[in-house]
Amino acid sequence: GFLAIDGSTMDLFTKPGYFGETFYDRKSKYSLGCQAVILPHNLLIVDYSLGHPGSVHDAFAFRSTHLYEEHADLLPDGYWVWADSAYPLEPWCIAPFKKPHNGQLTKDQKSFNYHLSKGRFQSLRELQFRIKDEKDLEFAVQWIKCCIILHNMIIRFE
């Protein structure tokens, strides 16, 4: 594989007034979701999906990426995407082995899972603005896009 994907959340400092409860995530915080597809060798972000409430599962948000929609055109033959266990297992999307109900993973499976999980994203710090309506949500999405652009610029200019 030459790409990796993971989801992350950007914490909001307060409950949004715009569909507030949908932003309540599994970590008991209000947040915005982000899916990021990276080149693991340099961490350049090559695709992303933003704007889903923090309660949305990674597998669902993944469907909003160009990679998911156009994987046949974007991935050369024999290439795949590294993902974690939240993602669908597809011939072009490789996720870690899951522990069998009646047994243990083999040593090779444990090693595979360990190396697959090394490139995970950390959340951005808490977003310090209120989301009262659709316009505020769009502002938050644009702000995160700017962070992605700056991230990629820093990598390219280092």
Tens of pLDDT, residue by residue over 110-151, are 877 776 654 433 335 667 778 999 999 999 899 888 888 888
Phi-psi region of 146 (alpha: psi -120 to 50; beta: other; left: phi over 0): alpha
Q: What percent of the chain has pLDDT over 90?
A: 41
> Is the torsion defined by CA of 141, 145, 146, 150 positive or negative?
positive
d(CA 35, CA 84): 12
- How is residue 139 written in tokens? 């502002």
Mean pLDDT taken over the chain = 85
Tens of pLDDT, residue by residue over 1-19, are 678 898 888 899 899 999 9
Contact 1, 80 (CB under 8 A): yes
pTM: 0.76
Phi, psi of 22 (to 5 degrees): -70, -15
